Amino acid sequence: MRAGIVGYGLAGRYFHATTLVSAGFDVAAICTRSLERKAAAHQDFPSAILVNSIDELVAEELDLIVIASTNDVHAEHARASIDAGIATVVDKPMGRDYYETLALFDHADMRGVPLTVFFNRLWDSDSLTIKKALREGVLGNVFRCDSRFERFRPDVNPDAWRENSSIEAGGGLLLDLQTHLVSTALDWFGPAELVHASVRDIRGVADDDVVLVLQHESGVDSYLSASAIIGAPGPKLRLNGDKGSLVIKDLDHQEELLRKGFIPRAGEWIAGDEIKSEARIFKGADSFSYPSEPGSYPSFYSRVRESLEIGSPLPISREFALSVARIIDKAREISIR
C-alpha cells in the first residue's frame, strides 16, 4: 500500500515514516516546504515523490495519508485528505479541542473515509507491560496509578514550536504529553472523569507544568504529570495494588533509536530485548524483577493496514479519541490555575 506523509519533522520522519515501512507500507510521497527536510526525505526515501502542498499530495495515487504537520493545521490537512477520499491518520492531538476533533470525525463519516489518530504511546514497552500485569493480576486489587512525562528544561527552546505556541495555536504540554498520559490511562483502566487539573506556564510561554487526576469507573485513580521543569523527575510509571507496586523508571528505547536514524525493512522492527523497559514489583522492602513486554510502534500501522485490507476496526476508535479530547477540554475549564 502507498502512503503519503504531510510534514517531515520529528513526528513525520522519526515516528511515522519508520513505522509505516515496518508495517509494510510504501512511503511513496512526502509533503514539506523546508529545503532541509526535503533533503532528509530524499535521503531516507530516494524514490518518494516530494511535494510542497497538501493539494499536490492528495493528487497522488495513495492508499493512506498521515498528517504529521503542526497542530494548528491538522484539521485543514485532514479535511483535504478526507475530501480526496483517502484514508487518513492524524498525529495526536487530532484537533486542538473536542469540537475540532468531533468535526473531523463527522466529516470523515459523512464521506465514508477511514480516519484515526496516532496514539503511539499505547505501544510503548511500559504501556504493554502495565496491561500484562493487569491481566495477570500480580498486584491484586489495583487502585492507583502515577504516570509521568517529567523533564528538566528550564530554558524555552526558541526552535520548538510546541514550547512557543499558545493553547489556541496547538502548543503546550496539555495537548502534547498529557494527550499521551490520558490515552494510556483510559486504555489501561477504562472510562474516567477528570476531577482535578492544574495547567500552568511556569516559563511564561506555553503551558509547561500540567497535573491531571482521573477517576475511572473501574475504581482506579490516575495521577498524570507532564512537566518541562521538574529537576528530579519521578519514575515513568508506578502502578499500585493491595499486593504490591509495579515501578517502571524509564521509557523503552524505541524513540531513542528512531532519532538515531533507524529505518527498518518491511516486516522488521528493533530487536525485542533492545526495547524493553525495566520493570520491578515492590512489596515494602522486598522487590523483584517483572518480565516486561517489548515496545511495538509498528503494531499501530499493522492494524491500520489490516483495516484497509479487510475492514477490521481501526486501532483507535472515534469514541476513544473523543473521550481523550473531552478530558483535555475539561482540564482547561476546571484548572485551578
**The CATH number fitting domain 2-119+305-310, selected from 3.40.50.720, 3.40.630.30, 3.30.420.40, 3.90.550.10:** 3.40.50.720
Closest CA to 124 of 33, 237, 26, 226: 237
Task: Report pLDDT for 52.
Answer: 96
Neighbouring C-alpha atoms within 13 Å toward the C-beta of 22:
22
Helix (H) / strand (E) containing 238? strand 237-241
Q: How far is CA 82 from CA 11, 58, 60, 163, in A?
A: 21, 9, 14, 29
Q: Say which residues have a Cβ less than 8 Å from residue 71's Cβ, sequence separation at least 6.
A: 93, 96, 162, 165, 169, 170, 171, 175
The predicted structure's pLDDT at residue 160: 78
pLDDT at position 251, please? 94
Q: Where in the chain is the domain with CATH 3.30.360.10?
A: 121-252+272-295+317-334
Taking the C-alpha atoms of residue 66 and residue 45, their distance in angstroms, rounded to an integer, is 16
Q: Taking the CB of residue 193, how many other CB atoms lie within 10 A of it?
A: 12
Q: What is the DSSP-derived secondary structure letter of residue 264?
A: P
Cβ-based neighbours of 286, under 8 Å, separated by 6 or more: none
104: three-class secondary structure by DSSP: helix
CATH number of 121-252+272-295+317-334: 3.30.360.10
pLDDT for the residue 261: 87
Is residue 298 within 8 A of residue 327, CB to CB? The reply is no
Residue 130: predicted pLDDT: 98
Among residues 236, 221, 136, the alpha carbon closest in space to that of 177 is found at 236
pLDDT averaged over 10-residue windows placed end to end, the chain, 337 residues: 96 95 97 95 96 97 97 96 98 96 98 98 98 98 98 85 75 95 98 98 91 98 97 96 97 93 90 94 96 97 97 98 98 94
DSSP H or E run through 18: helix 18-22
3-class secondary-structure state, position 178? helix
Where exactly does CATH 3.40.50.720 map onto the chain?
Answer: 2-119+305-310
pTM of the complete model:
0.95
3-state DSSP percent of the chain in helix, strand and coil, to 5: 40, 25, 35
Question: DSSP class of residue 23?
Answer: T
Pairing outcome for strands 115-118 and 237-241 = unpaired
Where b means 16+ CB within 10 Å and e means fewer, 289-321 reads ebebbbbbbbbbbbbbbebbeeeeebbbebebb
DSSP, collapsed to helix, strand or coil, labels residue 319 as: helix
Q: Is the CB of residue 44 less than 8 Å from the CB of residue 68?
A: no
pLDDT of residue 96: 95
Cα(31)–Cα(53) distance, integer angstroms = 6
